[in-house]
A = this chain, B = another copy of it.
Amino acid sequence: MFRALADPTRRVMVERLCHGPASVSELARPFDMSLPAVVQHLQVLEGSGLVRTRKVGRVRTCAIDTGALSLAEKWINERRTSWERRLDRLGDFLAEAEPDQGV
């Protein structure tokens, strides 16, 4: 998941897909890069669960699956709040240990 977002090209692709679905060649347009390269990035995104694709006729349509996005968001949020809780406890401890130093 994070590995998928680690590449700038893939992040731009995700940003693009957040504005709506797109075909492979639409996705490829902004990049100065061969189609197979774009498809490879797409496979990484799909493998990470960030993007779902469906082929109808000869055109493959891609859309983001925000489920994966919110999973990553959740992970980050958990770590952050874990750290902030720690800071709170530390604050309590300091307040208890040296109450005359409190604000």
A92 to B97, CA, bound (A): 58
Whether A14 lies near B79 (C-beta < 8 A) is: yes
Residue of B nearest to A72 (CB): B76
Quick check: B86 and A80 within 8 Å, CB to CB? no
Instruction: Please give the distance in Å from A99's CB to the nearest CB on chain B.
Output: 23
Please, what's the 1-or-0 string for A72-89, where 1 marks a CB less than 8 Å from any CB in chain B? 110011011011101000
Assess the B6–A86 pair: CB atoms within 8 A: no
Are B6 and A83 in contact, CB atoms less than 8 angstroms apart? no
Q: Give 13 CB contacts A-B under 8 Å.
A: A2-B6, A2-B11, A3-B6, A5-B6, A6-B6, A14-B79, A69-B76, A69-B79, A69-B83, A70-B76, A73-B77, A73-B80, A76-B76
